Structure 1
Amino acid sequence: MTDTIDTLTVPLSTALTLLARMGDLSMGQPLDHSEQAAACAAWLAREAGADVGACVQTALLRWVGCTANADDIAALMEDDVQGRRAMLALRPDQMGLRLPLPEAQQVGRQASGIHCEVASLVATMLGLAPEVAQALGNVFERWDGGGYSRLGGGDAIPLVTRVAVLASDMEILSREYGAESGIAMLRTHAAGAHDPALLSLLARGWKAGPRDPGMTEAERLPDAARAVPLALVADLCDLKLPWLAGHSRAMAGSVAMAAQALDIEPGPVARAALLQGLGRVAIPQRVWNAGGALTSAQWEQVRLYPYRTMRSLSSIPGLAEEAELASHVGERLDGSGYYRGAAGATSLAARIVPAASCWLALRAARPWRAALDADAAATRLRDDVQAGRLDGQVVAAMLGQAAPIPAPSRGNGLLSPRETEVLAVIARGMSNKEAARVLGLSPSTVRTHMENLFRKLEVGSRAAATLKAAALGLITGG
């Protein structure tokens, strides 16, 4: 099944746009923030004699690691989305810090390390130049060597990083406060963060708003048409919530099989399943991880996530059909679903997406309930058919599948069977002690397996291990 999902590809330019918008949603930014920042980076790179393509790609992907550390940020801030928005706008009083400063700095350092490792890994998985991976691995460096610096600041920071990060910060501050005030704030409130020479270039020549640096697409984005797996976008969206690890891949496989059984072209609906979680990243962790009933305000956020998905996808060339299908993930035939609440008037293909979402979700544990076995989940789906909420044909096709949640692959022998079991458990957010209890092992044995699988996967964090393992078919979701 993993091989089938990995044949669903998009051009590199589309993948970068999708990942840029995922990052923007996660950081509480407008959908075009990273694309506008990339335009600024292209202009600034040309002025500074930097590699334009590398600077553009780094600006687009600056926030691509932010789903990987969402739980860490949620421990740091009341709202991991709006708190980061306030941080970027240089409004510390609105960040909603939950921890005293020393502890906050420690958590922030850990979170920035996870972000940088995952962002650099994504660049490598996309086949981007090593300069881009290196630049993304250093996006929290400061010119003065402060903050979470590892390189010591100054010219030790790659020029590509300096250009892309300054362009991104300038886009935010010029949008929030105007161009002149944005430059002033970069020099005062963010004093020491940026290369003074690059800041002077901006002060002399930058004007707020979209810019045309007069370059071809090939100059801005070399290799734009190269095909890359769409599943990488899905994996990064799912990374926000450990209990969703592998969910979108599993859903894509399930809807593809159902579509084939119903004589529907499986490609569009499978791609829609891979993308249906994009809008989910805009909702804070405290909503998704709530153990009890949601407030009306929280429920309204959940209801709107398919709308955010559609808005994110619909303006991207070649994804209009997928945008429409993905936006139906919460709909029900009786009008009780979301976000439209429309009754009945959906295509058969659009009815597959919510049925698959229900089928897989019921089979997996969630923060608010335990997983159901196959028989209990099937009964729930049949009840929904009887109540007029789900399509009977679609549910019959779904329940006829041999393996709604397929067993993990062994990754061509990269990990031992026990290491794969440990990885499948820790990928869902369990601590070593919790994993030990579930697997009947001692915590020290789990720690040893963790060290071994980190070494084999060549990663340093659970988030990076989860991302790599998903691509290798080592974990599956529900």
Structure 2
Amino acid sequence: MAPVGEGPRRAELIAALSLAIDLGLGQPMEHMLRSALIATRIAERMGLSSEQRAVVFYASLVSWIECHADSHELTRLFGDDIAFRADTYTVDMTGLPFLRLLMSHVGRGLPHAERGLRAAAFLFTARRQMSELIRSHCGSAGVLSDRIGLDPRVSSMLAFTFERWDGAGLPAGTRGDAIPVEMHIVHLADIAEVHLRTGGPAHAVAVAHTRSGTQFCPRVVRAFDEAAAEITEDVLDQDAWGAALAQAPDRHRTLNRDELDELLRAMADFVDLKCPFLLGHSRNVSDLAATAGRHQSLPPAEIELLYRAGLVHGLGRMGVPNQIWEKPGPLTTSEWERVRLYPYLTGRILSRVGGLESVVALATTHRERLDGSGYPAGIRAADLNTTARLLAAAETYQRLREPRPHRQALTAEHAAARMRRDAGAGRFDTEAVEAVLAAAGHRTKRRAPWPAGLTGREVEVLRLLALGRSNRQIATELTITPKTTRNHLEHLYTKLGVHNRTQAGLAAIDLGLSQ
């Protein structure tokens, strides 16, 4: 946790980003953190300098930062992009075993005849297609590394993510010591973690030996072998988050507001690269939600909260295959279950970053609905405050304005009409919808005033009071101070002509404001 008064730590945010990368690789969360721990121990064993160990640490965390950007292309070739990446850890990525793996995934999910045609065509173009994907991957990975503020040396390492000791890698076929030793260590640690987890230390060492001189640098394999017990000790048993972050060279560095927003924008762009139709989605949601908050005259802290939650709301998308996101027809029940999980995964990814608790709590509610029909938790109106209602409306409006595989983008007028219909049906808050539409440039409908002259904020306070919330609980849920809560209560007592909480609760029921 960040100390009181300080912003989130950069190392924690990059560690959280690595959890999202894990999902895209089809690995359990903390795979990259454990890989970084193994890598830094190997680097120390080999006598690398502190500067080199710092490069090894961050290159381990983000070496696959761009893996999801080729998800669209991988899905066209291999079906489930996440399952394909997970399977690549089971073989040395060259020669006949790798070719058999590729062919086993080509055209998955297609009719048998069409799959056969795809496989035949792929045989003639496999290396070219994979080379193009990897060249794009490496270039974009370096850009994202720079965007999240990492040392330029980390960015330069990422050009070698798919290269091999024997020169059989891609995209340039770089070999041997022309690949920096830091990246040789990252290559081994990434694979070693998987085989350590699935087969134990002896199995991890055996895999390293099998690939020594081909995929892996013999010198790195030797260092790993000679101290395997020490290097792998407690890797699977201890808290990977804490253990890995203890190795972060800048683990105490906190971010100021501008630095935090820039890093969150980079994370937004990172996840939006997963699907072609998502490009710019998170930034647009963020801007729209914050502008809608200004239309509702929210305090600056709540507008900032909306902006940041809008940026990171979609991180959990990484855990859902593009085969589902890009499906042109109706989803199956099991596919829907995976989709409904992604806001929860957003929370899991960011839950241990100190100083972002309120952002995470808000971001995970963006698919919830007032009538309880949303997901992942089916939260109802009483537990969705103003910021949650605005974020849900902003995300939905922006999504409707974008094309999806199963529909074209809605015009601004059709999207507004759809939002208003859903608000009328009780799924969205009418005020939130009108604020979002105003932020998007629509003429808005003036809502009939609340009864008894209550303001929208006073109605929120009254609804929570009627549910038995204490002043402190009301302040926490609405992200306001206890003093502001007391002021709202005094004003609404006066307007309702009541003298205590019980009378106010009864008045809320009489006015139809208890839900």
Aligning the two structures, in what range does the TM-score lie when normalised by the shorter sequence?
0.7 to 0.9
Corresponding residue for residue 337 of structure 2: 300
CA contact (8 A) 2:283 2:311 kept: yes
Matched, 1:172 2:194: yes
Corresponding residue for residue 398 of structure 1: 436
Q: Map 1:78-97; keep pairs closer than 5 Å.
A: 78-90=79-91, 96-97=104-105
CA distance in 2 between counterparts of 1:396 and 1:167 reads: 52
Deviation at 1:371, TM superposition (A): 1.6
Q: 1:215 to 1:10 in 2, by over 3 A?
A: closer
CA distance in 1 between counterparts of 2:89 and 2:212 reads: 10
Q: Map 1:96-111; keep pairs closer than 5 Å.
A: 96-98=104-106, 99=119, 100-111=122-133
Aligned to 1:314, which of 329, 351, 354?
351
CA distance in 1 between counterparts of 2:37 and 2:9 reads: 20
Paired residues, what number?
396
Q: 1:350 to 1:222 in 2, by over 3 A?
A: closer
The one-letter code matched in structure 1 to 2:292 is A
CA contact (8 A) 2:134 2:162 kept: yes
Question: Which secondary structure state, in structure 1, belongs to the residue aligned with residue 366 of structure 2?
Answer: coil
Q: Map 1:234-249; keep pairs closer than 5 Å.
A: 234-249=268-283
The one-letter code matched in structure 2 to 1:76 is L
Matched, 1:119 2:141: yes
Deviation at 1:10, TM superposition (A): 5.6
Aligned to 1:389, which of 417, 420, 427?
427
Matched, 1:359 2:397: yes
The one-letter code matched in structure 1 to 2:250 is L
- 1:222-252 residue CA offsets vs partner (Å, 9 max, x unmatched): 7843535110000010001111110100000
CA contact (8 A) 2:13 2:353 kept: no
- 1:336-383 residue CA offsets vs partner (Å, 9 max, x unmatched): 111112222222211222211111111122111112222211111111
Corresponding residue for residue 75 of structure 1: 76
CA distance in 2 between counterparts of 1:372 and 1:171 reads: 46
The one-letter code matched in structure 1 to 2:220 is L
Aligned to 1:350, which of 380, 385, 388?
388
Aligned to 1:225, which of 226, 235, 254?
254
Corresponding residue for residue 45 of structure 2: 47
Q: Which 5+ residue runs of structure 2 have no aligned equivalent?
A: 1-6, 92-96, 107-118, 443-515
Q: Which 5+ residue runs of structure 1 have no aligned equivalent?
A: 1-8, 405-478
Corresponding residue for residue 476 of structure 1: none
Q: 1:322 to 1:203 in 2, by over 3 A?
A: same
CA distance in 2 between counterparts of 1:256 and 1:174 reads: 45
Q: 1:215 to 1:245 in 2, by over 3 A?
A: closer
Corresponding residue for residue 65 of structure 2: 64
Matched, 1:270 2:307: yes
CA distance in 1 between counterparts of 2:244 and 2:375 reads: 43
CA contact (8 A) 2:35 2:190 kept: yes
Corresponding residue for residue 36 of structure 1: 34
Mean Cα deviation higher: 310-319 or 259-268: 259-268
The one-letter code matched in structure 1 to 2:54 is G
Corresponding residue for residue 509 of structure 2: none
Deviation at 1:11, TM superposition (A): 4.2
CA contact (8 A) 1:62 1:165 kept: no
Question: Which secondary structure state, in structure 2, belongs to the residue aligned with residue 220 of structure 1?
Answer: coil
Question: Which secondary structure state, in structure 2, belongs to the residue aligned with residue 367 of structure 1?
Answer: coil
- 1:98-146 residue CA offsets vs partner (Å, 9 max, x unmatched): 1444433332222211111111112222343232111111111101111
The one-letter code matched in structure 2 to 1:328 is T
Deviation at 1:44, TM superposition (A): 1.2
Mean Cα deviation higher: 281-290 or 69-78: 69-78
- 1:181-232 residue CA offsets vs partner (Å, 9 max, x unmatched): 0121222267610111111111121343438999995863378435351100
Q: 1:313 to 1:291 in 2, by over 3 A?
A: same
Corresponding residue for residue 12 of structure 1: 10
Mean Cα deviation higher: 57-66 or 28-37: 28-37
CA distance in 2 between counterparts of 1:152 and 1:266 reads: 49
The one-letter code matched in structure 1 to 2:210 is T
CA distance in 1 between counterparts of 2:273 and 2:248 reads: 32
The one-letter code matched in structure 1 to 2:323 is R
- 1:384-405 residue CA offsets vs partner (Å, 9 max, x unmatched): 111110111211211111548x
CA distance in 2 between counterparts of 1:83 and 1:376 reads: 39
CA distance in 1 between counterparts of 2:252 and 2:135 reads: 29
**Aligned-pair Cα RMSD in Å:** 2.5
CA contact (8 A) 1:72 1:107 kept: no
CA distance in 1 between counterparts of 2:60 and 2:389 reads: 37
The one-letter code matched in structure 2 to 1:342 is I
Quick check: which one's helix share is greater? 2
The one-letter code matched in structure 2 to 1:273 is G
Corresponding residue for residue 474 of structure 1: none
CA distance in 2 between counterparts of 1:216 and 1:114 reads: 30
Corresponding residue for residue 408 of structure 1: none
Matched, 1:325 2:354: no
| TM superposition score normalised by structure 2 | 0.72
Mean Cα deviation higher: 117-126 or 33-42: 117-126
Matched, 1:255 2:253: no
CA contact (8 A) 1:58 1:132 kept: yes
Q: 1:214 to 1:343 in 2, by over 3 A?
A: closer
CA distance in 2 between counterparts of 1:48 and 1:190 reads: 16
CA distance in 2 between counterparts of 1:346 and 1:102 reads: 55
CA contact (8 A) 1:142 1:149 kept: no
Mean Cα deviation higher: 368-377 or 218-227: 218-227
The one-letter code matched in structure 1 to 2:145 is A
CA contact (8 A) 2:11 2:250 kept: yes
Q: 1:368 to 1:219 in 2, by over 3 A?
A: closer
Q: 1:65 to 1:10 in 2, by over 3 A?
A: farther
